[in-house]
Structure 1
Amino acid sequence: MRLTIIGNSGSFPSPHSPASCYMVTATDDAGKTWRIVLDMGNGAFGVLQRHVDLKDVDAILISHLHPDHCIDLSGVHVAVKWDPRGWEKEPIPLYGPSTLHDYLRHTHGHYDEVGMSTEFNFHSWAHHEQVHIGPFTVTPFEVLHPTEEPYAMRIECTTAEGKTVLTYSGDTDYCRGIVEASQGADLLLCEAAYQEGRDDALRGIHLTGKRAGQVAEEAGVRNLLLTHLPVWTDPATALAEAQETFSGPTGIAEVSASYRVHPHPQPTNPPTTTLSVVQCH
């Protein structure tokens, strides 16, 4: 399984990155390569097209309905509906909170019953209810964030190489849901928008690097990759906080980097500050 970072900026795009968006890729036993996209925040759709043709995306998965995680779906809708060359495939499978279709219709003023159902095949998350997409099994977990139906995603992938598990936190503060979703994961892609000492009064919204590390340690994950860092949060500070509480390999998600997630530990034992997943630019 391979993870590509399309955007890692929190709350809004930074000068160097779109808001949250990630692509997960794997090849099944029949040789077909599957691509799923996690979130589609501000500016993400443009950068995503550097990495994949939209027609090769097998599904889009949305963690929650804040613009920095979903607003560029409006651009995807336009790309599918109005491409003068036509759209040869079925509507794109789109998974998210139950009100996702209504949310998107309001972005374009589509208030009829059809809405965007000709461009997207809408599916609603349900806590712990698994979804199967090619070699991927995705399980949503309710988490703690100030919006309706926020979810983390546990993505299990089974191929000829073995089974790998990637957990994506979405947006959340420390809660039972994110710890459960992360249990034994090979890689936890975790938000760390807040900073210890600066944001202590803000709870129930985001994690700090320290609390992200606590989640990773408690859940027994193999690798921790921090993301969703707004422009005012220093990556070095978030990394140092996480390393105080997580004893395993920890890093910062780099825009346009790809990380190959292996199903088993590598033969060598890397330093605790080096990810044991393989980074491939």
Structure 2
Amino acid sequence: MNDSIPVIRDVDQGTARLLPDVDRDRAWLLTVDGAPQSYVDLDAPDHLEFEYARRLAHVIDCAAAPGAPLDVLHLGGGALTLPRYVAAARPGSRQDVAEADLGLLELVAEQLPVPDGSGITVHGADARSRLEQTAPGSLDVLIADVFGGSRVPAHLTTVEYAQAARRSLRDGGIYAANLADGAPFDFLRSQLATFAAVFEELALIAEPAVLRGRRFGNLVLVASPSPIDTATLTRRCAADAFPARVEHGAALDRLTGAAEPVRDGMAVASPEPPDGAFSIG
């Protein structure tokens, strides 16, 4: 039983809380202004509590043979859930993390430090700036999980951003982003159009209830210059406790509809979630 004491601290983007999981020793939930940001089990980094984190992990798992090390850039750090997962599942991986909230970085480093020799390097930097400084063709995987509060920042939604993402990837590399939207999916459709203008292959992972517009929720956008192993992704996502669908090809084209790519200067952040969509109090 986890009898640790909650930690509450003001960080750059609000009030962060590290809340111990009473059912798991050394496991913590990170929230910022009541919105869940990360869940970490220090003794079991392969335990991914959030559904969207498991879906991002499925993308990572499909990026190379099991156990093979990867070069990964994570845009958005939180409590470093996915970097810890990769370090445990793929020893020898080289991972950089860009997190703009320096107060949050300090809190996580102090309370939930990563093990020595993990291969994880954390940078206090804006996500897009760090991406644009990344050497071309240097990454196997690029993960974007950046939220200002509960919204994806506007400068991470554009063609120019997508072009920087594509430049950073090796042939066969893969990009995956955690997004959030609900019907009528204006933001999601714009993102599909934006990334289709830059990448040859796209896929989308989401729960059926979200795709049908019944509720606001997380969706994982996957993009690559090479074919995506959608069959394996589909099997993995269907086997989760909360199964998700993988849309691609003609189905994704229909979802995109007449949406236009978004360019710098016209971008807006993702929509504000409805009250209670993600908040835990």
Same fold (TM over 0.5): no
TM bin, normalised by shorter chain, reads: 0.3 to 0.5
TM-score by length of 2: 0.40
* TM-score (ref. length: structure 1): 0.40
- Judging by fraction of residues, say which structure has more helix: 2
